[in-house]
Structure 1
Amino acid sequence: MKFGPVPVAEAEGAYLAHGRVASDPANPESLVYTIPKGTRLTAQHLDDLTKNDVTDVIVARLEPGDLHEDEAAARIAAALCGPGLEAGEAATGRVNLRATSSGIVVVDAAAIDVINRINPAITVATVPEWARLGPRGLAVTVKIIPFAAPEQDVEEACTRGAGAVRLLEGQIASASLIETSVDAAEPSDKGRRSVKGRLDQFSVLLSERVVVRHRAEMLAKALTDAPGELLLILTGSATSDGEDVAPAAVRAAGGEVLHYGMPVDPGNLLFLGRIGERPVIGLPGCARSPALNGADWVMERVICGVPLEQIDIAGMGVGGLLKEIPSRPRPRDAQ
């Protein structure tokens, strides 16, 4: 691609780099109009520019082997677009990929890095991996910086990035939340409402409320009897150890605890396990708040079918220092 100023008389067929004002002889009520940036200049444009005393313009000229920005962006977007995403129309060298339903985004970060190093003209930006999106949520934007990109570089980007971004949709239809109480009083339904709000984002049906005393044998029976495909536990007293009441109840119900604790704050006191084929998440107390916490990251991946062994809780520490919730018993600033 050639870029730079040329006399107006030589600019036909080139792409205007900066909007310019031109005369419009066909519209006597409006003597001037603006030719937008990126317009492919015609003989009429040149005539109107000349009538407005414009002598030269800055343009881009495509050379053999170049692809126009819109075509280049469209090709790369189509290659990147995995299941659960759809590409929009190309405009000004940009194409967006959006979610077709609710889900979480899986990104081949290495492939995106390769694409962004092929040629500075070609750029791909994504949301963070595992980001939750609703229908029409923006997952990726492909942008060609200049007015064209070399076709061979575009083809390399398409090859390297094939299917690099996809959306995992919800795979679980129902969940049960078992709450425990440390005394005879029934706990507030604030926690249940917050959990239901999270499940509603993926159209997961929450079964009837169950509250049991904070004892391993009672909790184990409630887990066994619960109808949900996903089992959630919200204890009246925090799970302070992998041998505490809630993890012990999972084992007593014939299950196993795969991981206790997480390097995400709020969310440290979470555990992950299974009973038979059903995943179990021991929720931290911060799950009573609708604010983002570590439990969201684990719940979303479980709901969207990520195998439990592939949920890298220990790897969530970078970026895991989240905004503190107002109801926290011991605020960070006080410690």
Structure 2
Amino acid sequence: MKFGAVKTAEGEGAILAHSMQASQPPYDIGLCYRIAKGTALTAQHLADLTAEGHGQITVAWLEAGDLHEDAAALDLAQALVPDEEGQGIRISGAGAGRVNLYALGAGLVRLDCAALEALNAVDPMITIATVPDYHRVDGDGMIATIKIISYGVSAEVLARAGAAAEGALRILPPVFTSASLIETRVSREVPPDKGRRSMAGRLHRMGLSLSERVVVRHDEAELATALSAAPGEVLLILTGSATSDPLDVAPQALRRAGGSVTRFGMPVDPGNLLFLGEYQARPVIGLPGCARSPALNGADWVLERVLCGCPVSSSDIAAMGIGGLLKEIPTRPMPRRSD
């Protein structure tokens, strides 16, 4: 692509680089209009610009082998998403060198980060910006934008960029349809339903239903019995007293019921006191107390992966610490900073 200033009379067929004011025929009545940047200039445009007094204009010229920015953005999108239905992604129309990618339904965004970095390294004029890997998205939520920065790019270079990242984005939909939440109480009083409402909201946006409310004493045997009777495909535990050790009531109740604990604790704040396990081939998540709030916390990261069928290992949770400081909470009795 060539770019630069030319005499206005020589600009037919070029792409206007900057929006300009032009005179509107008949020129003697003084009416004007705006020619937007990116417009392919016609002879009439040039006459109108000349009448307004523009003797020189800045334009872009596509050369042999070049693609217009819109065609290039759409070609790249189709290279990245060759199977919209299978990848769970919708490709938008093209405009101003931009194409957006949207999720077809709720789920978790998975990215081949190395491939996308390779795409962005091919040519500075060819770009893609995405949400983070493992980002939860709702139906029709935007997950990426492809932008061709210049007015045109080489088709050969574009093909290299597309080949570097074919199929590098996908949406993992939820693989479960139901969950059970078991709550414990530490007194005779039934705890407020704030926690249940927050968890119901998290599950609903992923298309899962929540079974009837179950509240038991904060007791290992009672909790184990409730787990064995829970009907959900995913089992959630929210204790009335914080789970502070791998041998505390809730993890031990899971073991007593015949299940297993694969991880206790996570390097995400808020969310430290989470545990993860399994019972009769069903995932079990022991929720930290912060799950009573709808605000983002470490439990969200684990829950979303579990619901979308992503294996979550102890090492996966350990890796969440980088970027895991989610929010300062000034009202906590032990503040994290004193300066």
TM range (shorter): over 0.9
User: Is 2:125–2:153's contact at 8 Å kept on the other side of the alignment?
Assistant: yes
Q: Call closer, same or farther: CA 1:166–1:236 in 2, change over 3 Å.
A: same
Q: Which amino acid aligns with 2:33?
A: Y
1:15 shift after superposition: 0.4
1:49 matches 2:49: yes
Q: Which amino acid aligns with 2:226?
A: A
Q: Which amino acid aligns with 1:172?
A: F
**CA distance, structure 2, for counterparts of residue 317 and residue 72 of structure 1:** 39
1:87 matches 2:122: no
**CA distance, structure 1, for counterparts of residue 292 and residue 29 of structure 2:** 64
Paired residue for 2:160? 156
User: Is 2:27–2:51's contact at 8 Å kept on the other side of the alignment?
Assistant: no
Kindly report the root-mean-square deviation, in angstroms, between the aligned alpha carbons of the 2 structures. 1.8
1:103 matches 2:104: no
User: Is 2:198–2:293's contact at 8 Å kept on the other side of the alignment?
Assistant: yes
1:167 matches 2:171: yes
User: Is 1:268–1:284's contact at 8 Å kept on the other side of the alignment?
Assistant: yes
- Pairing partner for 1:221 from 225, 229, 244: 225
Paired residue for 1:126? 130
**CA distance, structure 1, for counterparts of residue 181 and residue 315 of structure 2:** 21
Paired residue for 1:246? 250
- Pairing partner for 2:286 from 279, 282, 286: 282
Q: Call closer, same or farther: CA 1:151–1:296 in 2, change over 3 Å.
A: same
Q: Which amino acid aligns with 1:108?
A: D
User: Is 2:263–2:314's contact at 8 Å kept on the other side of the alignment?
Assistant: no
Structure 1 stretch displaced more, 80-89 or 214-223: 80-89
Relative to the length of structure 2, the TM-score reads: 0.95
User: Is 2:88–2:104's contact at 8 Å kept on the other side of the alignment?
Assistant: yes
- Pairing partner for 2:148 from 119, 144, 151: 144
Q: Call closer, same or farther: CA 1:29–1:300 in 2, change over 3 Å.
A: farther
**CA distance, structure 1, for counterparts of residue 26 and residue 248 of structure 2:** 82
Aligned-residue identity in percent: 57
**CA distance, structure 2, for counterparts of residue 40 and residue 297 of structure 1:** 48
Paired residue for 1:314? 318
1:328 shift after superposition: 4.2
Structure 1 spans left out of the alignment, 5+ residues: none
1:324 shift after superposition: 3.3
Q: Which amino acid aligns with 2:60?
A: A
Paired residue for 1:23? 23
**CA distance, structure 2, for counterparts of residue 331 and residue 27 of structure 1:** 71
Q: Call closer, same or farther: CA 1:223–1:29 in 2, change over 3 Å.
A: farther
Paired residue for 2:68? 68
1:7 shift after superposition: 0.5
| Match runs of 1:284-299 below 5 Å | 284-299=288-303
Q: Which amino acid aligns with 1:103?
A: G
Deviations, residues 75-128 of structure 1 (Å, cap 9, x unaligned):
111222361111101100000001111111111110110011000001110001
**CA distance, structure 2, for counterparts of residue 20 and residue 185 of structure 1:** 72
SS at match of 2:243: coil
**CA distance, structure 1, for counterparts of residue 3 and residue 15 of structure 2:** 9
Structure 2 spans left out of the alignment, 5+ residues: none
User: Is 1:104–1:131's contact at 8 Å kept on the other side of the alignment?
Assistant: yes
Paired residue for 2:195? 191
| Match runs of 1:296-307 below 5 Å | 296-307=300-311
